[in-house]
Amino acid sequence: MSLLEVTDLQVEYASPRGAFKAVDGVSFSIERGEIFGLAGESGCGKSTTAFGISRLLRPPARLAGGRVLFDGQELTGMPELAFQAFRWSRMSVVLQSAMNNLNPVMRVGSQLTDVILAHEPGTSARDAWSRAESLLALVELPADRLRSYPHELSGGMRQRVVIAMSLALRPDLIIMDEPTTALDVVTQQGIVRRIVELKKELGFAVLFITHDLPLMLEICDRIGIMYAGKMAEIGRADRLLRGARHPYTQGLLRAFPSLTGPKVRIAGIPGSPPDLVSPPAGCRFQPRCAHAVAACSAAQPAMTAADAGGSVACHLYETEEAGHEPVAASRQR
């Protein structure tokens, strides 16, 4: 059994122009100890998916359908008080912009011990403080930073504090939504390296969300590519790098320069993501897709199994009777 199983997740937003689904039928799973990445353009539904799983949605958003199983336990119907305890003990969340996630008028130590004491009320203040020191050590910060206020720390240090807080109760899964946003590349690399080391040391799984696809290809075991609220492709990171199937995934990969390979012209994806209030018929990517065929505007493609345990939602891979060559073959010419 997978640690996390998300099936047909749907998140709806109310708007003056009418309700629309920012996440529409997304399904994926995360195994124990795995780093699973979610990638895609801004507005594709990555963060909304994470908020739907962790039940952090606020109006005008609402969970409109789907199931979330955690270690076989149904989360979508769990009472709110029970889920509040579950959220930190079994599953925690690291959001982007650490300064906004820390209370500016509380010292770091008070915020770390508050998590421990709230969920383990029998813990003494001395033990909670000792555990807070250990948590800072895990993210390579000195213990004296417990007495600092958030504004006295650098952006990277604040992000490490938030990661330490997410580890306070040793959860099985940590959802990390853009954990290195607005940090310089040196600080980013240090934080990402430490996340990977802690994952190996403590054995937790990670749902890692970022716009940085090259970074994701480096650290993730598997990656899900989202487009316009739907999942376009899921596959092992090395398999996506060698031969992505979905034309959108291929376009994302072509948009990033290689630091070690030959010089190639960077090619963006033409057009813009669709309006989710009135999305195009059929495949939502077909107005921007150079490989679109008649079926693409007629029906939304279903996720179909591919080799190496991956899956792709593209009519080009559904049947051999489609009368065209697979995209993967056409790319090799």
Residue-wise pLDDT for 163-182, tens only, equals 999 999 999 999 999 988 77
Domains of the chain in sequence order? 4-220 (3.40.50.300), 244-331 (no CATH)
Model confidence at 325: pLDDT above 70? no
In which band, very low, low, confident or very high, does the pLDDT at 183 lie, cut at 50, 70 and 90? Answer: confident
Give alpha helix (H) positions in 58-107: 80-89, 98-101
pTM: 0.92
Summarize the confidence of residues 94-114 as an average pLDDT. Answer: 89
Tokens 């508050």 found at:
114
* pLDDT surpassing 90 at residue 306: no
Q: What is the pLDDT of residue 319?
A: 55
H helix intervals, 203-246: 213-219, 237-243
Q: Please give the average per-residue pLDDT across 130-153, as a whole number.
A: 96
pLDDT digits (tens, 9 = 90+) for 61-102: 999 999 999 999 999 989 998 998 898 899 999 988 766 789
Q: Do the beta carbons of residue 166 and residue 112 sit within 8 Å?
A: no
Cβ atoms of 43 and 273 within 8 Å: the answer is yes
Q: How many CA atoms lie within 13 A of 216 on its CB side?
A: 30
Alpha carbon separation from 293 to 27, 248, 297, 323 (Å, rounded): 25, 15, 8, 10
DSSP, collapsed to helix, strand or coil, labels residue 119 as helix
